[in-house]
Every structure is written in structure tokens, then in C-alpha cells.
Amino acid sequence: PKTHYLTDYQPPAFEVESLFLTFELLPNGTRVTNRMQVHRVKDLSAPLVLDGEGLELIQVDLDGVALMPTQYDVTDTQLILPDVPERFELEIVTEIDPENNTRLEGLYRTSGNYCTQCEAEGFRRITYYFDRPDVLTYFTTKIIADKQDNKVLLSNGNLVEVGDLPNDRHYAIWKDPYKKPCYLFALVAGNLEEVEDTFITRDQRQIDLRIYVEPKNLDKCEHAMESLKRSMKWDEERFGLVYDLDIYMIVAVDDFNMGAMENKGLNVFNSKYVLAKPETATDADYEGIESVIGHEYFHNWTGNRVTCRDWFQLTLKEGLTVFRDQEFTSDMLSPAVKRIEDVKRLRNNQFPEDAGPMSHPIQPQSYIEMNNFYTMTVYEKGAEVVRLYHTLLGEAGFQKGMQLYFDRFDGQAVTVEDFRNAMADANEIDLAQMHNWYTQAGTPTLKVEKHFDAATGTLTLHCEQSLKGQSAHAPLLIPVLFGFLNDDGRALPVRPGENSRNKVFETEKGHLLKLTTLSETFEFTGLSQEPHLSLLRHFSAPVNLEYAASDEELMMLASHDADSFVRWESIQTLALKNIEDNVARFQAGNGMVFSEHYQQAFQAVLEAKGLDPALKALAIGLPDLPYVFEQFETIDVDAVLQAVEYQKAQIAQTFSGALDKAYLAHCSKKAYCYDKHDMAARMLKNQCLAYLAYGAEPVVRAVAQYEQQQNMTDVLAALNALNHLAVSEREACLSDFYERWQQDTLVMDKWFSLQARSESEQALQDVRGLLEHPDFNYRNPNRVRSVLGVFGRLNMKAFHDASGEGYALLAEEVLKMDKINPQVAARLVTAFTSWKRFKGHRQDKMQSALQHIAADKALSKDVYEIVSKSLE
């Protein structure tokens, strides 16, 4: 397969003035007529090359004259017209088969309805076109379909005409007044029902809001609609950005590769991010819906109005829009909780990606299959890099930069450099060094050493940055938010010494130190005592911090620091130290210990007065396994799992009374409400419940909570608590759950995923059973992910079973899935990418599984790219 390089970018040779698409919808033979007005902008002799895949070409007309097949070339991926005039009209007729499109790229059918997914390169599966984001044009779309099965006919922009046709057919014409690249095109048709509402913009325009769903789901749209209205209001208030069409439509479909898609005026969503009611959706689902609805809405400006020049710029729109959705959630719920959740997400998912064979900078330099680069790195690390600008410039400076960005680039396809220059020019500062964050892969390590001279009251902080395996990397600009504390946790003054005045700043987020070189010393004076350091407050840069804090210091920070992130981080570090210690003990054949300091910090936080219960829940939770694994050069699965098991059991045993008390104190009979206080209470209660299930009476509370059936958050937490136990209560609850919810696809995904991640001895066998279950469906990505994705990513015990059977099972399923949906298969195979990190026989067996996949000669380029890079 071909590798694409950023350095090969060439501007397009042709411009499309307008595009008129006609779809005659039929499940197995949809006819697409594409009429475009084109003119040449450069390269007088260049042929016209259009992208197209999986299309049956019926006819090509140039300026109204049908071409003979000898006048063009058709390959598997292109239509080439060697000789075209400077300005011309081209009409291309193709036929496609939506019913058998299991890749879910281009036009396909889901639950009997038609829908599209074009990003990144799906439009070429609809018609021959310039499938690249820097060719923008005005789209008009005519949809013709059978009336009986397609009451609703939707596309981008405004509805301009509808009418009836012979043979019980009808049509609709949609015109989008904004120029767009084809990846933002969408079409939806079928028998969907709509929920309607309106939003009044700050300039008093009324926008029609519509959510389209299958009739059975009409009662689950309220939260999504409220989330949309909140997003629209927030973007006006915080970013000054107002919606620009008269209608905003969201369609929920069950079969979707991504979470959702920001097509202009017509978002298509994975139903998981639309449908919710308290009985069926958890707090995490509600929060996810609000955030994804926000994300897609925010793309209307950051992505659609200003788009990407090429796919190497993906983080331009995704990093920025994730940053915006993070800020939205933070403003709607709790900023402290949101920041910690985002850091956990980054560390559990992006850090391992960046330490493995698929590691890439937020602006990748090359790819084989673009879909493989919709990654945690481009999205989440990309958002962290946008956050760096925000930290450096402050809210007002950042907004000035955004304003200039839109003033300069509205309606254009641009680059990450354009964004950086707008930020720099608007604030009249030099941000050139930020470039290094875009071009270097890997999680940087920030090492800090302190030295205190009591005689002069001077503190020196020596800071060093490094990137693993890169001896001479270009230095990153690392903003470090920090504070000094005395023994009681009170803030001490920060007075930069002579050499540090221009590197230490007062910002709206607190004291900020700017590290711009590989190694630098910062001096602080006027200190009457040696301060404790609170470093990387708010997690101000996506780095691994190495600072040798003592247990006493960590305990003090966990109890007293002004910054919630540092408080959480300090207790997490104590937990991690305890786990690491026990891993070493296990490996040496010694008994494990339960750290006194961790116990004290745990108790202090659990019993702290006035602390947000959500922060308590996060603090007393153990670091997630992927992050624990990341701490080790070589991963000893057995030792880590034993150490974590031990830690949970010790917590349950030592704190059973306090956990039970906290559990009861946060139980409530109140009806479900999506409210941060109620959510916080549920979070703490359910964290306690999870620990109690490792104690002396594991099932009592969980079974009672399950039986109450108060809301899905609590029901699922109860099932989770029971999930690792080999007890009849677990089976009884799971089967009751199945009986209640077997008709609800999204709820059934939870039932599948619970079993796929069970720590029980039976798990491997259970996963085999789930794949044979009548409700398992290889064509539904959510269902596949809820079994195989969860198994490979979250079930460390069963996936890494010493027999190697977990690996063999996933390898076979990847091969099977690759023939159905390569994008989904490629995600599943990432469970193997870190194989070199594992110890001994596991490493060998993971390698064999990858080699087995690689031996398939018909692999998709999606899976091929990941497997081949992993085996290099």
C-alpha cells in the first residue's frame, strides 16, 4: 500500500465552482449523478484526476457530450480525463450498493435507513470527485426515493424544494449556501421520526432544531436537545460564535464507525451519543452525550467554516474542538472533576499509544490509511497542546487569537501554522517554539530537582525535559503551573530571583514557570523555610513529571494543596508507589504490604469535610491498569494484577466501616437528575460499592442496589461490583438484566461489555459464548466494540491469559472483522501493538498473533498499516 507524506502536498490544479448531486435511492443500486462546474487554476497540461472507489461507472459527459471509454481511464481508485478544457461542465453517473456496504464509509443502510459517512475519504465511495479537504464548493443535493420507506429526505443546508413523482416516489432538494469540502457532505433518508425545538440566537434569529431517530426512540431525545441548546448558548457566550444556517439537524443511527460526524447542518450521530433516559443511560452516558453534541456543534466554526488544508492538519480542527468541548463540559459541570477525568483519559489511552509503534506527532508526517490517524494523539494530545496556548495567553489572549483566526481564515482550508500565527500575531508574541509540539512524538518527561539554601533563603529548581529515545530533541515550550507550601499546606510567597524574572509569571491560573530549553535552573528568593512543591497544577502540560516527593510531602499535598489536580495526583502517586513496591515483592517471592502512608491519605480524603464527593471518589480510586502498566519498562502482567488485587482487598478490609458509612451517606431516593451534585454523590457511593465487593460480604449491597432499579448508573454499578465474583447472584442479575432490556440495543451493549470485561475465571469462555449469542452482530460496530474492543483493551486478565488463548481469539476475530469493516478491525488490532513491552512468553504469543494476522494476503490497508508497523 501507498504511503502519503505531508511533504508531498500540492495545491489542487482545479477549482469546483458548484456541484449538483442527484441520488436515486435503491438499496442495491443507487444511482448517483454528479454534475460539476470546474475550472483549472494551475498546471495547464495536468490531466483531471478524480478519486473513486467501489463505484460502477455508467456514463461520463463533458460539456454535454458523452465520452467514449477510450477518452478516459478508470482504475481501482481514480477516474482520469487526460484532456479537459480550461473551464467545463462534467457529469458523471455511477451506481453503488448501500445495502451491502458493511464498511460504513460512503452511503450505506442502517436499520433500513440510508445514511452517509464521508470523513476522511468516504465521498469517493459515492461518486468520482476531488476527495480532499482543500477543494471547497457549493453543494446542491436532490434526493429521489420511494415514499413508503423514505418519508424523510435530508441533506446539508436549507430545504429548497420538495415534490411528488410517479410510482409513489418523491424528491427533496437541499442547497447549502456555504462552500464546503466533500468530507462534510451528508445524506439521510428513511422512516425516521423527529423531535423539534428552536433556539433564538443572540442576534434574534430563530433556528429550527431537529433530532431524527427511529420511532421507538422518541422518548430518549430530551437530553440531547437540551445539550444542543446549551452548546449553542455557550459558544455564543464564551467564544462569540453564532450559528449560521436556519436549521440544525441531528440524526441518530445504530451502525456508525465513529462517535458522531459534524456534516454541515446535518450531523450524523452514533445513537450512543444521542439516546438517553435515566432507566437506560448512565451518568457517564449523559455526560458523553452533552460533550459529543457540543463537540459536533462547535465544529461548525472550528472545522467547517475554517477547515483543514489536508489530513495532516487534522489536529487543527480536532485538537481545537476537543479543547472547546472540554471547556464546555468544564463550564457545565465541575472544572476540577473534568480536568482529572481528561488527564486519566489521556494517560490511559494516549500515553500508551505514544509509547508504542504507532506513536506519531499530533501532526503526523505520513500515513497509509488516514482513518488510522483519528487517534488519541491527534485528538487528546492535540487538545492539550491547544490548552498550552490558553495557559500561556490567558482566556482573553486566547480569545483574541481565535478572533483573528476566524477573521483571517473564514471559508478557507488552512494549516496548524496558520492557527499558531493567528495566536501569536493577535497577542504580539513569538510562539514559534510551539512548532516543536506538532512535529515530535512521544510523551516528554519533565524532571525537577530542588535545592534549598537555608542560609540565603534561596530555592533553586533544576528542570530538564527529555523525550525517550531521542537524544537531541528540539526543546518544547513547557508551561509549569506551580506553588510553594509550608508544612501545614499554607501557600508561601513566590519571588523569582534575578535570573528567573523573565521566566516566571503571574497568570489567572496561578504562578507559571516557562521552560523553553532542555535544561534550565530557576531561582527563588526570600524564603524563610524550605517549601514543599506543588508542581504541574491543572496538569499544565502533557508530560510525565519526575520529582522525588517523599510520602510525607505527598500526604500533605493530598490533604492541603489548593489545586484539585495536584491533590488527586498526590494520592494516586502514593497508590502507584505501593503497587510498584508490591510488584517487586511479588517478583522476589516476598509477601505484599499495604502502605501506611497510603492508608492515612486514603482515610483523610474519604473523611475530609466539605470535599466534593466526586473528587473523593476519584482520589480513592486506584490508577487504571493501562496507566499502571505504563510505569514499567517490561510489563509483568501476573505481578501487576496480583498487586492491584491485593490493594483492592486491603482497602476493602481496612476501610470496610468507613466505606459502608460513605456508601449509605450518599444513597438517595431522589428521582434521577443530570446534576453535578447528584452525579458526584452517585460516583462516590458507587466507588465505595465497588470496594465493598472485595470485602467480607461482597454481594449484599450490590444485590440490594441492583434490585432497587433506581437508574442505569446505579444498576450498572451494582452489576460491575458483582462482575468479578463467581456467585449465583451475578448470574441471576445478568439474566434479569437481559430479560428487561433485550429489545434495547444500547443497553444490551452494556450487558455484552460487562461480561467481556469480567475478571472471573470463566471470562475467556464467556467471550466465546458472547460471539455466538443470537444478539451479537458483526455489522454493528458498537456491539463488536462492546465485546472484542472491551476484551482486548480492558480485560487484562483474560486477554493476557497465560495460555495465549486470549490473543489467538482476538487475532481470529480481527481477521474475520477485516473482511466486514476494516476501520473497526484496525481499532481491535491495537490491543496487540505494545507486545514488545510484555514479559517472556506473552511477548512471544502476542507476536505470533500479529504474525498470523500479517500472513493474510488480503488484509485491508487499515489493518496492514498497524500490524506491519507493530512488527517492524
Q: Between residues 23 and 301, which has the closer beta carbon with respect to Zn ion?
A: 301
Task: Provide, rounded to whole angstroms, the least separation between the CB of residue 659 and ligand BAL.
Answer: 39
Task: Provide, rounded to whole angstroms, the least separation between the CB of residue 827 and ligand BAL.
Answer: 14
Q: Does 295 bind ligand BAL (CB under 6 A)?
A: yes
Give how many residues touch ligand BAL by CB under 6 A: 9
Residue 119 binds what, of Zn ion, ligand BAL, none (CB under 5 to 8 Å, by partner type)?
A: ligand BAL
296 belongs to the catalytic site: yes
Burial class of residue 486 (count of CB atoms within 10 Å of its CB; 0-12, 13-18, 19+)? middle
Q: Does 290 bind ligand BAL (CB under 6 A)?
A: no
Cα–chain center distance at 115: 22
Residue with cell 495532516: 312
Q: Between residues 209 and 260, which has the closer beta carbon with respect to ligand BAL?
A: 260
Q: Does 296 bind ligand BAL (CB under 6 A)?
A: yes
Q: Does 105 bind ligand BAL (CB under 6 A)?
A: no
Beta bridge partners of 15: 39
DSSP string, 156-179: SSEEEEEEEETTTEEEEEEE-SS-
Helix (H) or strand (E) holding 94: strand 87-96
Question: Binders of ligand BAL among 757-786, rule CB under 6 A?
Answer: none
681 grid coordinates: 454523590
Alpha carbon separation from 645 to 504, 548, 595 (Å, rounded): 43, 26, 15
Residue 569 binds what, of Zn ion, ligand BAL, none (CB under 5 to 8 Å, by partner type)?
A: none
Q: Are 214 and 192 in contact (CB under 8 A)?
A: yes
Task: Provide, rounded to whole angstroms, the least separation between the CB of residue 387 and Zn ion.
Answer: 16
Q: Between residues 104 and 798, which has the closer beta carbon with respect to ligand BAL?
A: 104
d(CA 206, CA 807): 55
Q: Are 257 and 781 in contact (CB under 8 A)?
A: yes
d(CA 55, CA 494): 66
Q: Does 287 bind ligand BAL (CB under 6 A)?
A: no
Residue 258 binds what, of ligand BAL, Zn ion, none (CB under 5 to 8 Å, by partner type)?
A: ligand BAL
Q: Are 509 and 538 in contact (CB under 8 A)?
A: yes
Q: Does 119 bind ligand BAL (CB under 6 A)?
A: yes
Residue among 6, 49, 258, 518 that touches ligand BAL (CB under 6 A): 258
Amino acid of residue 186: A
Question: Binders of ligand BAL among 689-708, rule CB under 6 A?
Answer: none
Residue among 182, 250, 261, 747 that touches ligand BAL (CB under 6 A): 261
Q: Between residues 94 and 267, which has the closer beta carbon with respect to Zn ion?
A: 267
Beta bridge partners of 171: 144, 163
Residue 255 binds what, of Zn ion, ligand BAL, none (CB under 5 to 8 Å, by partner type)?
A: none
Task: Provide, rounded to whole angstroms, the least separation between the CB of residue 60 and Zn ion.
Answer: 35
Three-class SS state of 784? helix
Residue with cell 497544577: 537
Interacting residues of 393 by C-beta distance below 8 A, sequence separation 6+? 400, 401, 423, 427, 429
Q: Are 55 and 125 in contact (CB under 8 A)?
A: yes
Question: Binders of ligand BAL among 309-368, rule CB under 6 A?
Answer: 318
Please tell me which residue in 53, 105, 296, 380 is annotated as part of the active site: 296
Task: Provide, rounded to whole angstroms, the least separation between the CB of residue 318 and Zn ion.
Answer: 5
d(CA 401, CA 320): 12
Task: Provide, rounded to whole angstroms, the least separation between the CB of residue 249 and ligand BAL.
Answer: 16
Q: Between residues 405 and 737, which has the closer beta carbon with respect to Zn ion?
A: 405
Beta bridge partners of 512: 481, 505
Q: Does 818 bind ligand BAL (CB under 6 A)?
A: no
From the list 357, 336, 220, the residue with the least C-alpha distance to 277 is 220
Q: Between residues 260 and 388, which has the closer beta carbon with respect to ligand BAL?
A: 260
Alpha carbon separation from 31 to 69, 154, 184 (Å, rounded): 19, 17, 20
Task: Provide, rounded to whole angstroms, the least separation between the CB of residue 261 and ligand BAL.
Answer: 5
CA triplet 643, 649, 655: central angle to 5 degrees?
130
Q: Between residues 325 and 714, which has the closer beta carbon with respect to Zn ion?
A: 325
d(CA 204, CA 232): 13
Q: Does 235 bind ligand BAL (CB under 6 A)?
A: no
Residue among 176, 262, 520, 801 that touches ligand BAL (CB under 6 A): 262
Contacting residues toward Zn ion, per CB under 5 A: 318, 321
Task: Provide, rounded to whole angstroms, the least separation between the CB of residue 273 and ligand BAL.
Answer: 10
- The site for ligand BAL (CB under 6 A) is made up of 119, 258, 260-262, 295-296, 299, 318
Q: What amino acid positions are annotated as catalytic residues?
A: 296
